[in-house]
Chains A and B, each alone.
Chain A
Amino acid sequence: MKTGSTNTLIIGVGNLYRSDDGAGLCIASRLREFVPAGVTVLEESGEGAALLEAWKGATAVILVDAVQSGAPPGIIHRIDTQRQQIPSRFFHYSSHAFGVGEAIEMARVLHLLPPSLLLYGIEGRNFSEGIGLSEEVEHAAAAVLALALDDVRSFLAAEADQGNPADREQQ
């Protein structure tokens, strides 16, 4: 449920009991302490249909997940989904077949993609059962935390420039 005054949403995706797959959730829970009031932070398992529902009505979404695309562990992928499709097999290690990548591409087909959806994928090393992130992923998570906060500030600044859509309607 989205609360607060903005339509900016952060979604962390993953499974805390699958080692590096927990990266998105770790980042989301840390971001919760830093984001400005009104920005909603959600933690999701990555089930696609739930994601489609979660970002409904949001204008700016930042989604963070662990990925395994073959790049070295700790590499950060930043994808602006309005400009770029999700590379196939990007979310190969997601434990859900209709997962993050599928949800984004399904949203594109059904015209349900938010006006802005940024995806941060952190290349994981270890997806076996267990708790805790690999060292490279820990470092990447710290970087994504900072990057995502910058994105949030940019979103909010752009929103302020344009005026709140709800306010405009009332004028």
Chain B
Amino acid sequence: MSIRTIKVENLARVEGEGALFVKIKNRRVTDVQLKIFEPPRFFEAFLRGRKFGEVPDITARICGICPVAYQMSSCHAIEDAFGIKVNEPIRALRRLLYCGEWIESHTLHIYLLHAPDFLGYEDAIRMAKDHPQDVQRGLRLKKAGNDIVNLLGGREIHPINVRVGGFYKVPAKLEFAALAETLKWAREAALETVRWVASFSFPQVERDYEFVALRHPEEYPFNEGRLVSNKGLDIAVRDYDQHFIEEHVAHSNALHSAHKERGAYFVGPQARYSLNFDKLSPLAQEAARSAGLGPVCRNPFQSIIVRGVELVYACDEALRIIENIERPDKPAVDIKPRVATGYACTAAPRGILYHRYRLDEHGVILDAKIVPPTSQNQKTIENDLWQIIPASLDLPGDKLQRLCEQAIRNYDPCISCATHFLKLHMERE
């Protein structure tokens, strides 16, 4: 009997921390467990008894990388409960703010977290020694995203200008015009990013995933749409709980999401792209084609290219919005609480972010449910590893370990959204 043991202390370059446990016995993978140690339900409990107006700012604190997503999902869910629809100018400004967050988040992941895997560096700091210009471009590109979030959100981290019904304050037209120049550079840098990452080599892995994403009849999804999949799902967001369940898994304190009938599913840029290619701007579509991508992408390692394509789209869309900018008469629409339950999914950088709130007549939260993208992807990440590891068993221990880490980073998992602490343990027996 051949016995090999590999122990990996840490899974670096994944947002937050948690653990992966892999067991290999007689050249067969016998166990793959993505472990989460802390219960993720603190915020749901913390929100109970709070007034609806506090929710966007509290939930924005769940994640330092995607606070806008939390604000957007919470605002839309509460507006859904109160029967409020924001006007077109506010809707456009929300899309613009979301563009900023996608630029920040995707750039961070591509340049500082994922690219080192493909170029064979332990981390971005070592990569920067040999590729300073690429890293500088990444940092400047991320700054362009920060600038949008700063202008509309009030500051770049944990924006404070978002409220249920709209914004506290809307910047002047002139301030948006100043952003346009930055974004024109950013759009070129995003195209360069796609060319850069398309030159990497990709492990040949394809799986028949169930991709789940928002789909809107007229646009690439940010704030609204129906939940669709390539396996026949087509539902209103408010029916999410009828089709998806969160299961407690023995090895993890976090809840794993699953489709009630079909199990694991895939959310995130690759799902969004594969279900909405036709809604990308012509420039983003062209960038995808030039990078060798078809309208559907099933190789999870190519997610880095898909993020690049979405970067191009986010810059392009932000410029389109700024060109047509219309300031709303009032920064926010009027709110009148009522007894109701509201639902929303918005397109967080890492995939659909589901919020549900039950409120009383004063607008006090009675019950909250938050399902972040990472807990929806956990089963799919494990399933990828079940396929990838057997095909790579001849790799030396450290290389196999790095391949596993790279495979996990395909999903840009934000363990700090799902929960806290991640370590990787791999055993070969």
Interface residue? B428 (CB, 8 A): no
A47 surroundings in chain B (CB, below 8 A): 64-65, 108, 157
Instruction: Mark each residue of chain A from 128 to 142: 1 if its CB lies under 8 Å from any CB of chain B, else 0.
Output: 111000000000000
B108 near A49 with CB under 8 A, answer yes
Chain A residue at smallest Cβ distance from B149:
A50
Main DSSP-derived SS at the B contact region = helix
Q: Which among B13, B157, B421 is the interface contact of A50 at CB below 8 angstroms? A: B157
Interface residue? A16 (CB, 8 A): yes
B62 surroundings in chain A (CB, below 8 A): 17
Interface residue? A44 (CB, 8 A): yes
Interface residue? B143 (CB, 8 A): yes
B112 surroundings in chain A (CB, below 8 A): 48-49, 98, 102
Interface residue? A52 (CB, 8 A): yes
Q: Nearest chain A CB to B18's CB is how many angstroms away?
A: 11
Interface residue? B310 (CB, 8 A): no
Interface residue? A95 (CB, 8 A): yes
Which residues of chain A from 12 to 65 have any CB-CB distance to chain B below 8 Å in the complex?
15-18, 44-50, 52-53
Q: Nearest chain A CB to B52's CB is how many angstroms away?
A: 19
B61 near A15 with CB under 8 A, answer yes
Q: Nearest chain A CB to B89's CB is how many angstroms away?
A: 26
Main DSSP-derived SS at the A contact region = loop
Given contacts A47-B64, A49-B139, A105-B125, are A95 and B416 in contact (CB under 8 A)? yes
Q: Which among B61, B113, B157 is the interface contact of A44 at CB below 8 angstroms? A: B157
Q: Which among B13, B17, B46, B142 is the interface contact of A49 at CB below 8 angstroms? A: B142
Chain B residue at smallest Cβ distance from A48:
B112
Interface size class of chain B, counting residues whose CB lies under 8 Å from the partner chain: 35 or more
Chain A residue at smallest Cβ distance from B158:
A45
B158 near A52 with CB under 8 A, answer no
Interface residue? B16 (CB, 8 A): yes
Given contacts A15-B61, A97-B14, A98-B108, are A130 and B42 in contact (CB under 8 A)? yes
Task: Provide the bound-state CA to CA distance between A48 and B142, in Å.
Answer: 11
- Identify the interface centre among B12, B42, B62, B107: most chain A CB within 10 Å of its CB: B42
Task: Provide the bound-state CA to CA distance between A48 and B123, in Å.
Answer: 13
Given contacts A45-B157, A47-B157, A128-B38, are A95 and B64 in contact (CB under 8 A)? yes
**21 A–B contacts, CB within 8 A, in A order:** A17-B62, A45-B157, A47-B64, A49-B143, A53-B142, A93-B17, A93-B421, A95-B16, A95-B17, A96-B65, A96-B416, A97-B14, A97-B16, A97-B113, A98-B113, A98-B124, A102-B123, A105-B125, A106-B125, A109-B125, A110-B135
The 5 closest A-B pairs by CB, nearest first: A45-B64, A129-B42, A95-B416, A45-B157, A97-B13
